[in-house]
Chains A and B, each alone.
Chain A
């Protein structure tokens, strides 16, 4: 049973437009969510996170939205840049299982110039 799902394996957007990456989860005990970005031949790097007590967290061009009732979070990138092309992983964890993040399968974002 996959507890964190990224249903879109790929997304293609034009440079300058908004990229929206989605993530759904099933475990209501998750209380912290993270997005990681991964370039080919590199390990994932942390991008942005959100606690379950918030519904939005913004960092520059990146904003993460959390809808707890729908068990859904999304990552918005605006404006998208070609350098944003990468695989984006959504991850979730809960305090009683501290450290053990559950990851989605990732969404490959391609930003076209």
Chain B
């Protein structure tokens, strides 16, 4: 079956521009997560969607970052007025929250964002 897909795979933008990153989770996975990994750093949690519940936005670094999940499936992460420090790999993951191995998150290949 299809895994988590993300688009675009690479994005180069100019400082101050807005960007949108897309994530298609695995069908049937109710949970969706966004992370970012800056060069040489670990995975930084950004936002978590679970079903129809209000998203957990506690990881968003600033109000320039926002995310939506339409119809409980596809998600879009938007970064407004991009800054050079936003350059990172943005990873999306999905899972079927529950017990044990259902907690396993399946990651997409990531979107590599470079802000010039």
Which residues of A are interface residues toward B (Cβ below 8 A)? Answer: 6, 32, 34, 36, 41-46, 49, 51, 89, 93, 98-106
B residues 41-100 touching A (CB-CB < 8 Å): 41-43, 45, 48, 50, 56, 91, 93, 95, 97-98, 100
Total residues of chain B contacting the partner, CB 8 A: 26
A34/B107 in contact, CB under 8 A = no
Residues of B within 8 A of A45 (CB): 106-107
A99/B97 in contact, CB under 8 A = yes
11 other A-B residue contacts (CB within 8 Å) besides A41-B110, A43-B108, A103-B45: A36-B107, A42-B109, A43-B91, A44-B43, A99-B50, A99-B95, A100-B33, A100-B56, A101-B105, A103-B43, A105-B41
Which residues of B are interface residues toward A (Cβ below 8 A)? Answer: 4, 31, 33, 35, 41-43, 45, 48, 50, 56, 91, 93, 95, 97-98, 100-101, 103-110
Report how far A89 CA is from B109 CA in the complex, Å. 16
B109/A32 in contact, CB under 8 A = no
Residues of A within 8 A of B33 (CB): 99-101
A104/B108 in contact, CB under 8 A = no
Residues of A within 8 A of B56 (CB): 100
Q: Tell me, rounded to whole Å, the shortest Cβ–Cβ distance linking B67 to chain A.
A: 14
A43-B91, A43-B110, A99-B33 as given contacts; A49 in contact with B43, CB under 8 Å: no
A43-B91, A89-B43 as given contacts; A34 in contact with B4, CB under 8 Å: no
A43/B104 in contact, CB under 8 A = no
A46/B42 in contact, CB under 8 A = no
A46/B45 in contact, CB under 8 A = no
B100/A51 in contact, CB under 8 A = yes
Residues of A within 8 A of B48 (CB): 99-100
